[in-house]
Amino acid sequence: MVSILHLVSGIGANWGTQSTHNLPPEIVVKMLKDNGFQKVKLFDADYDTLKALGNSGIEVMVGIPNDMLTTLGSLKAAEKWVSKNVSVHLSHNNVNIRYVAVGNEPFLETYNGSYLRTTFPALQNVQTALVKAGHGNQVKVTVPLNADVYESASSLPSGGDFRADIHNFVIQIVKFLSDNGCPFTINIYPFISLYMDSNFPVEYAFFDGNATPLNDGGIIYTNMFDANHDTLVWALKKNGFGNLPIIVGEIGWPTDGDRNANLQLAQRFNQGFMAHISEGKGTPMRPGPVDAYLFSLIDEDAKSIQPGNFERHWGIFAYDGRPKYSLNLGTTNSGSLVPASNVKYLERKWCVLKPDAKLDDPQIAPSVSYACARADCTSLGYGTSCGGLDARGNVSYAFNSYYQINNQLDVACKFSGLGTITKSDPSTPSCKFGITIEPYYGGAEQKFVYTRLLLSLILLLWTIL
């Protein structure tokens, strides 16, 4: 255990906040510390989140969303952003900011080139602004990219190079990072490969050594992570940047929303990854410690499900900070995840389909569609945690999700007279009907709380009654 503690003490976590009910930042920071996380990667620069990280000692990577890249094409705008989101927290709040992530997977193929020409100017300007503000030595820029920016013509790591259609754009960024002593950040997802290709060799996604080995000129690969990572190493080497530091910005496995997304496989993958990197061996082409951030810390029920329903279930913790499964991060003496403390829930009550309601009622289908479009029904469906519910259970699950997201307002359980509130937990052994946590409103939002609740109530009355 001592050696594990030494080698993986730097494991990081991605802390996303696309949720209808976020835990207060102070609770999350305590949870990070209790579990021995020494690094955290954010997707924006929310003031309350960063302030809560002050004096924690946790290394922070703050994020700049893709929709801000165009604006930061202006140096003046970049200087203003750095002053507000970096300088203030370094000097006044004692936040240990080490990186600024300029964009988030901006070259993703599904974006169809939308950010190809705005990413590099933003990167340049943020770097210039950091240096001008005197932070150049402590805070480094990077661009988290998806592994689809490189490929291998030979299907072997040694054939790796950056995709031809974006080659010049990537190399421009790589050279800039190299010139300024900044790391290359890559997100690697064996789960996505399995999700996209039913013929993907499942065992190759894991670290148990059960996969058919891949022989690349005498170098043996028994898992996708090593092979994918080294494809990047070869791509960098091939273009003259073989020594550029690499950060694994995201790696993980979801627990619901797909037949291959469950607690058992997530535990197997994440524990396997932790054991793999705890040895400190790195990959065949990059020996040494691996700098990585698990994806993700907490489930996010408001994430886009365009890539798949699993998107809302990446957390090693549930929405309320409860550990989903046993996971030894090698960072605490207990060897198991520590739950969030002082979490406040709403009442123990649920919204379900009335017992006397008929399933052939013409209002059932539109009510379920309405609820699922505005809440989270991604745990329903083939191979998911709630996939075994009967028809009435499916309707009740949809109703309850909407009811909880709307803070258990009575009007949110009307559904044309089909819904009823119960204090008897409708959960099954495999399917949990949630109770939401108390809504958190950040300091900057406090004065809008009552207005927002009033508007929400008016909207519900207008749409449901």
Q: In this predicted model, what pLDDT tens digit does every residue of 161-197 receive, in sequence order?
A: 999 999 999 999 999 999 999 999 999 999 999 999 9
User: Has residue 132 been placed in a domain?
Assistant: yes
Q: What is the pTM of this model?
A: 0.93
pLDDT digits (tens, 9 = 90+) for 191-247: 999 999 989 999 999 999 999 999 999 999 999 999 999 999 999 999 999 999 999
Q: Is the pLDDT of residue 457 over 70?
A: no
Of 275, 299, 317, the residue at which a domain comes to its end is 317
Question: Cβ neighbours of residue 122 under 8 Å, at least 6 residues apart?
Answer: 64, 68, 69, 70, 72, 73, 78, 102, 103
- Cα separations in angstroms, 283 against 157, 276, 350: 11, 10, 49
Q: What is the mean pLDDT of residues 293-319?
A: 97
User: Has residue 289 been placed in a domain?
Assistant: yes
Q: What is the mean pLDDT of residues 356-368?
A: 97
Confidence of residue 281 (pLDDT cuts 50, 70, 90): confident
Q: What is the mean pLDDT of residues 303-316?
A: 97
> Coil, strand, or helix at residue 217?
coil
User: Has residue 364 been placed in a domain?
Assistant: yes
Q: Is the pLDDT of residue 459 over 60?
A: no
Percent of the chain with pLDDT over 90: 90
Residues 240 and 381 in one domain: no
Q: Is the pLDDT of residue 24 over 50?
A: yes
User: Has residue 338 been placed in a domain?
Assistant: no
Residues 283 and 413 in one domain: no
Residues 291 and 393 in one domain: no
Mean pLDDT (the chain, rounded) = 93
Question: Cβ neighbours of residue 373 under 8 Å, at least 6 residues apart?
Answer: none
User: Has residue 402 been placed in a domain?
Assistant: yes
Residues 308 and 358 in one domain: no
Number of domains in the chain: 2
Confidence of residue 79 (pLDDT cuts 50, 70, 90): very high
Q: Is the pLDDT of residue 118 over 50?
A: yes
Percent of the chain with pLDDT over 70: 93
Residues 268 and 372 in one domain: no
User: Which residues form the domain of 397?
Assistant: 350-422
Q: Is the pLDDT of residue 2 over 60?
A: no
Residues 32 and 168 in one domain: yes
Residues 365 and 298 in one domain: no
Residue closest to 200 by CA, chosen among 188, 211, 209: 211
- pLDDT value at position 441? 86
pLDDT digits (tens, 9 = 90+) for 120-134: 999 999 999 999 999
Provide DSSP, 49-114.
HHHHTTTS--EEEEEE-GGGTTGGGSHHHHHHHHIIIIIHHHHTS--EEEEEEESSSTT-GGGTTT
Residues 256 and 376 in one domain: no
Q: CATH number of the domain that 207 lies in?
A: 3.20.20.80
Q: Is the pLDDT of residue 434 over 90?
A: yes
Residue closest to 183 by CA, chosen among 232, 118, 122: 232
- pLDDT value at position 39? 98
Residue closest to 54 by CA, chosen among 82, 15, 83, 91: 91
Residues 280 and 382 in one domain: no
Residues 374 and 290 in one domain: no
> Coil, strand, or helix at residue 352?
strand
Please identify every residue annotated as catalytic.
105, 250
Which range has the worst mean pLDDT, 63-67, 245-249, 334-338, 419-423?
A: 334-338
Verify cis geometry, omega within 30 degrees of 0, for the bond prior to 74. no
Give the whole-angstrom CA distance, residue 3 versus residue 25.
31
Which range has the worst mean pLDDT, 39-43, 46-50, 106-110, 461-465?
A: 461-465
User: Has residue 3 been placed in a domain?
Assistant: no
Confidence of residue 460 (pLDDT cuts 50, 70, 90): low
- pLDDT value at position 1? 31
Q: Is the pLDDT of residue 448 over 50?
A: no
User: Has residue 172 been placed in a domain?
Assistant: yes
Residues 193 and 287 in one domain: yes
User: Has residue 417 been placed in a domain?
Assistant: yes
Residues 272 and 165 in one domain: yes
Sign of CA dihedral 401, 406, 408, 410: negative
